[in-house]
């Protein structure tokens, strides 16, 4: 089985991973040069030790399978063994998910992120068979993505316990917001938990999560690492202070949404990644103003929010 380059005991995918946006050029085409520049920036400057490519924040619903493979190759070429590259491979079609997983392995990904099949609302046995089949499809370690606000169906505790028996299913990215359920799984299996909901990063650490798969890591990956370090050193008050300082960033992200927030925040911080693809629109002037104001409050931009322009 493949071992992720930043894996450590209990952390199969590293510590701080950003769900990376996909840069497009002015014509909305994939910009592989910007992809590599962004990946390098997020790892070497911001301090992420992992990147999720082809996730929802990477606009996977609107990129082709060929573009997905190009993205993985570009990111792996850019960051090498300095970060773990996790490829989103989950769809609501099991056969297609296996195809994406195998293409990701061939392109050099170090691991897979497999989301709960959406829209179809499968029963728990369907979820079990889906995840197990995808995990059987490659030699890559798998992180399950439990996000019922988007998929409707949660992965129940008993299903997670069964899935933990697969040798390549190693972790859960949790966006279910159920710390009790996660605690039960962590107490009874070896699955590692990663917070998939930025405002809950610190609460998840308190019950045993080992890291984050973050959206705001585009602009505050260094702060997330410091918060994780502080918590693990027993400096709970210090970790809470960092968390409190991130409240404006959480607020903007929740209000605008991950893709629009991330691409706008990156632009305001001096890094262009292009506009989203439809059906996601560009940020409105009001959204830009609100994001600028919140980034100002968090000390991330030096622009007077009252003078912000698109």
Query: 68, 118, 170, 173: which is the annotated catalytic residue?
Result: 173
Is residue 173 part of the annotated active site? The answer reads yes
Rounded Cα–Cα distance for residues 168 and 152 (Å): 25
Give the number of other Cβ atoms within 10 Å of residue 284's Cβ: 13
Tell me the H-state helices in 55-119: 65-79, 94-107
Give the pairing of strands 192-195 and 211-214: parallel
d(CA 219, CA 217): 5
Helix (H, G, I), strand (E, B) or coil at 122: coil
Report strand pairing: 84-88 vs 169-174. unpaired
Measured distance CA(105)–CA(97) in Å, rounded: 12
Task: Tell me the three state secondary structure of residue 131.
Answer: helix
User: Are 255 and 12 in contact, with CB atoms under 8 Å apart?
Assistant: no
Nearest Cα to 54, choosing from 118, 2, 103?
103
Marked catalytic residue, from 68, 118, 145, 193: 145
CA separation for the pair 253, 60 (Å, rounded): 19
pTM for the complete prediction? 0.95
Spell out the residues 6+ positions from residue 35 whose beta carbon is closer than 8 angstroms to its own. 22, 23, 71, 74, 75, 78
Assess contact for 32 and 22: CB atoms under 8 A: no
In this structure, what are the phi and psi dihedrals at residue 114, rounded to the nearest 5 degrees? -120, 110
In contact, 173 and 215? CB cutoff 8 Å: no
The partner residues of 171 in beta bridges, in order of sequence, read 143, 192
Check if 194 is active-site. no
- Taking only the tens of pLDDT, the chain with its 310 residues reads 788 899 999 999 999 999 999 999 999 999 999 999 999 999 999 999 999 999 999 999 999 999 999 999 999 999 989 999 999 999 999 999 999 999 999 999 999 999 999 999 999 999 999 999 999 999 999 999 999 988 899 999 999 999 999 999 999 999 999 999 999 999 999 999 999 999 999 999 999 999 999 999 999 999 999 999 999 999 999 999 999 999 999 999 998 988 999 999 999 999 999 999 999 999 999 999 999 999 999 999 866 655 544 4
C-alpha 197/C-alpha 100 separation (Å) is: 25
């Amino acid at each position: 089985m493949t071992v992720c380059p930043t894996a450590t005991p209990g952390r199969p995918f590293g510590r701080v991973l950003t769900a990376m946006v996909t840069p497009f050029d002015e014509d909305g085409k994939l910009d592989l040069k910007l992809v590599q520049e962004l990946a390098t920036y997020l790892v070497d400057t911001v301090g992420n030790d992992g990147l999720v490519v082809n996730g929802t924040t990477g606009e996977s619903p609107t990129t082709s399978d060929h573009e997905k493979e190009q993205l993985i190759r570009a990111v792996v070429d850019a960051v090498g063994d300095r970060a773990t590259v996790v490829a989103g491979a989950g769809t609501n079609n099991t056969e297609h998910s296996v195809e994406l997983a195998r293409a990701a392995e061939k392109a050099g990904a170090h691991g897979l992120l497999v989301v709960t099949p959406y829209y179809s609302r499968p029963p728990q046995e369907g979820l079990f068979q889906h995840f197990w089949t995808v995990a059987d499809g490659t030699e890559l370690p798998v992180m399950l993505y439990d996000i019922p606000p988007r998929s409707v169906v949660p992965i129940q505790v008993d299903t997670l316990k069964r899935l933990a028996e697969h040798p390549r299913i190693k972790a859960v990215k949790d966006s279910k917001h159920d710390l009790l359920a996660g605690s039960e799984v962590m107490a009874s299996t070896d699955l590692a938990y990663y917070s998939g909901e930025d405002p809950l990063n610190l609460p998840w650490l308190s019950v045993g999560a080992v890291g984050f798969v973050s959206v705001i890591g585009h602009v505050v990956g260094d702060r997330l690492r410091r918060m994780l370090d502080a918590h693990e050193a027993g400096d709970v008050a210090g970790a809470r202070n960092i968390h409190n300082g991130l409240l404006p960033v959480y607020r903007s992200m929740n209000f605008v949404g991950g893709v629009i927030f991330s691409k706008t925040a990156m632009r305001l911080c001096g890094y262009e990644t292009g506009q989203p693809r439809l059906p996601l629109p560009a940020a409105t002037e009001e959204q830009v103003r609100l994001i600028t104001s919140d980034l100002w409050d968090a000390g991330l931009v030096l622009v007077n929010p009252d003078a912000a322009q698109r």
